[in-house]
Amino acid sequence: MVKPAQVLVVAGTHGNERNAPWLLEHWRRQPEALQRHGLDVALVLGNPAAHKVNQRYVERDLNRCFAPELLADSSRNEADLQRARQLLACHGPDAEAPSLVVLDLHSTTSAMGNSLVLYGRRPADLALAAGLQGELGLPIYLHEADASQTGFLVERWPCGLVIEVGPVPQGVIQAQICRQSQLGVEAALAVLAAAQRGRLRLPAELVVHCHLGSLDLPRHPDGSPAACLHPELQHRDWRPLRSGDPVFIDPCGKEIGLALPPDLVGESVCPVFVNEAAYGEKGIALSLTRRECWPVGPDWLLALTDIASQLAQRGAPL
Amino acid sequence: MVKPAQVLVVAGTHGNERNAPWLLEHWRRQPEALQRHGLDVALVLGNPAAHKVNQRYVERDLNRCFAPELLADSSRNEADLQRARQLLACHGPDAEAPSLVVLDLHSTTSAMGNSLVLYGRRPADLALAAGLQGELGLPIYLHEADASQTGFLVERWPCGLVIEVGPVPQGVIQAQICRQSQLGVEAALAVLAAAQRGRLRLPAELVVHCHLGSLDLPRHPDGSPAACLHPELQHRDWRPLRSGDPVFIDPCGKEIGLALPPDLVGESVCPVFVNEAAYGEKGIALSLTRRECWPVGPDWLLALTDIASQLAQRGAPL
């Protein structure tokens, strides 16, 4: 017999994102806050060592540690990678107390609002995202086909997504950011509970922003930045850009326009993670996406319902 | 004969405040950008080791290292304290190439706008601040009589102040923040150059926000926060508060009002450094000030003119 599984909620995968860990403390003191949907929810602080020192990570970004080859490489033992293995051992789909769905709570210095990030096109993830978009209208960033950014936490669970809220500085707790994160988690649990009871209805379409690529700042030959983000682009995540629109500005005031590859000239693209503090070291000043409307696939709901049916029920829903 | 002195501009006293260091790079590549007032300006990166790792400090906040007893304590050798001694040895008022005025450039996650911070009531500082306020209308936070926060950099030079701009997350460069910092530096140099030529005219009054004290978050017995900043107070630096106005909110939504000591009940106070990321570890959720209008003292201009007359001239002003 299959073991009834939990829904895993991870807060503080990055140690300097403080809003979700603040909520986690609250949920631990008041467990009923997340119990109204009758699901068995496991709460975990993603990277306690990084959280303690208020830094994104200790040695390696925990949210880039979940690539199978990295997890399996016994010669690698960075603190964060060990934490990734530990999270899978305790809460992975094959753990003693398994989780089948993971909600990974993040915050960003970019003006993303309350948004969802998906990694790839797994039907169950798409169904969960469609349900959440139907409920709260959240925009969705689909990250895929980017060889330079891999090993995301949610990929190691059968179903999962990131709830990403901003703008908020690193190290700062803001009530509004917490509120939006909480709304996202509550809505996700409602969608999962509805799927479990066979009552989930998905919208006909999913609006999704598909990753096209990322732009780095223009740089001097020595690697130092030669320009910064154009002020007109600051806080303008999701707003369409066209080829030639100003994206950077140098210290003398010279504007640098968006250069799109030939197949995208004439199209509009939507920027995300604009000037995210943590991405400077990754060489990402912003990422570009294409807004698409997809019909919701008939297999999506089935995939999510299959997983949701394996989730434990914690008494009758209130 | 007295040696002609420089004006010292310090960027990146805190290693995760990136906007002023970005300007510094620009000024170094284009020195003429700061030369129009004919003053000899020394540019220095405050804490290179902290800047390199994008952290506020290495072992101890550099901007709390400048207390005379700490500088003189040969048993103390934290990296940041050693850097403080080095800055004084290279650029202090008694250095081989001395500076007599220091402009220390900071950024904050609080919505302070472009503002000035003074430490104590030195006449020359007040004159420089009055000149800047006359020029740009900047609000002034006068930090004084706070035994828990001491050892600020500018206190070790005969004249100096902090130019504090926000809101901007740690680790992020924003064109608008850089522009405001640059305006502040240019205006300060203009005031100093005018004082040097005996042509400085100060406004009749200085509007100053005098430090009253700081508030920490309400906390559980184990020290963890029991409430966060009230969303109505977020981004509301400088806006008057009265006794009883909501300042914190707990996770269940209970509001906690401002409790003022008896002598302040009935008055309005102005919050500053509201929810500054770096002050969590200092136990400061916000500081409270009293807005006062002071007549500009007759000794202020004399004190600043005396110092300005000792500044080197770099050829004729352009």
Token pair, residue B121, equals 């009531």
B contacts of A55 (beta carbons < 8 Å): 55
Q: Which of A135, A164, A205, A281 is catalytic?
A: A164
Residue tagged 């700061």 (tokens): B34
User: Is the Cβ of A174 closer than 8 Å to some Cβ of chain B?
Assistant: yes
Domain layout of chain A by residue ranges: 6-204+296-309, 211-293
Contact assignment for A228 to B281 by CB distance below 8 Å = no
Contact assignment for B54 to A234 by CB distance below 8 Å = no
How far apart (Å, rounded) are the C-alpha atoms in residues B8 and A198?
A: 69
**What is the helix (H) or strand (E) element at residue A165, kind and residue range?**
strand A159-166
The answer to whether B57 is a known ligand-binding residue is: no
| Residue in A54, A175, A224 nearest the CB of B249 | A175
The yes-or-no answer on residue A292 being catalytic is: no
Q: What is the pLDDT of residue A315?
A: 59
Average pLDDT over residues A20-47: 94
Q: pTM of the entire structure?
A: 0.93
Q: Respond yes or no on whether the N-terminal peptide bond of residue B68 is cis (omega within 30° of 0).
A: no
User: Which ipTM score applies to this complex?
Assistant: 0.90
How far apart (Å, rounded) are the C-alpha atoms in residues B299 and B178?
A: 33
Contact assignment for B22 to A54 by CB distance below 8 Å = no
Average pLDDT over residues A155-175: 98
Determine the distance in angstroms separating the CA of A228 from the nearest CA of chain B, rounded to an integer.
7
Q: What is the pLDDT of residue B233?
A: 98
Contact assignment for B169 to A173 by CB distance below 8 Å = no
SS3 B150: coil
State residue A98 phi and psi, 5-degree precision.
Answer: -75, 150
pLDDT digits (tens, 9 = 90+) for A120-149: 999 999 999 999 999 999 999 999 989 999
Q: What is the pLDDT of residue A1?
A: 46
Determine the distance in angstroms separating the CA of A201 from the nearest CA of chain B, rounded to an integer.
31
Determine the distance in angstroms separating the CA of B171 from the nearest CA of chain A, rounded to an integer.
5
| Residue in A171, A175, A230 nearest the CB of B231 | A175
User: Is the Cβ of A28 closer than 8 Å to some Cβ of chain B?
Assistant: no
Instruction: Please say whether the beta carbons of A116 and A92 come within 8 A.
Output: no
State residue A73 phi and psi, 5-degree precision.
Answer: -80, 100
B contacts of A280 (beta carbons < 8 Å): 54, 171-172
Q: Which CATH number fits domain B211-293: 2.20.25.160, 3.30.70.270, 2.40.440.10, 2.60.120.10?
A: 2.20.25.160
Q: What is the pLDDT of residue B265?
A: 87
> What is the strand order of the sheet A255-257 is part of?
A228-229, A246-249, A255-257
User: Is the Cβ of A54 closer than 8 Å to some Cβ of chain B?
Assistant: yes
Best of B23, B107, B173, B186 to mutate (most A CBs within 10 Å, chain A): B173
Q: Which CATH number fits domain A6-204+296-309: 2.40.50.140, 3.40.630.10, 3.90.1150.10, 3.40.50.300?
A: 3.40.630.10
User: Is the Cβ of A26 closer than 8 Å to some Cβ of chain B?
Assistant: yes
Q: What is the pLDDT of residue B210?
A: 98
Phi-psi region of A227 (alpha: psi -120 to 50; beta: other; left: phi over 0): beta
Contact assignment for A169 to B109 by CB distance below 8 Å = yes
How far apart (Å, rounded) are the C-alpha atoms in residues A249 and A252?
A: 8
Contact assignment for A54 to B169 by CB distance below 8 Å = no
How far apart (Å, rounded) are the C-alpha atoms in residues A8 and B53?
A: 33
Q: How much of chain A, in percent, has pLDDT values that exceed 90?
A: 89
Assign A265 a pLDDT band (cuts: 50, 70, 90). confident
How far apart (Å, rounded) are the C-alpha atoms in residues B158 and B5?
A: 12
pLDDT at A318 over 70: no
Torsion angle in degrees (nearest 10) through CA of B257, B259, B263, B268: -30
Averaged pLDDT score across all residues of chain B? 95
User: Is the Cβ of A303 closer than 8 Å to some Cβ of chain B?
Assistant: no
The low-confidence residues of chain B, meaning pLDDT below 70, are: 1-2, 315-318
How far apart (Å, rounded) are the C-alpha atoms in residues B14 and B4?
A: 29
Burial of B91 (0-12, 13-18, 19+ CB in 10 A): buried
The answer to whether A83 is a known ligand-binding residue is: no
Determine the distance in angstroms separating the CA of B23 from the nearest CA of chain A, rounded to an integer.
8
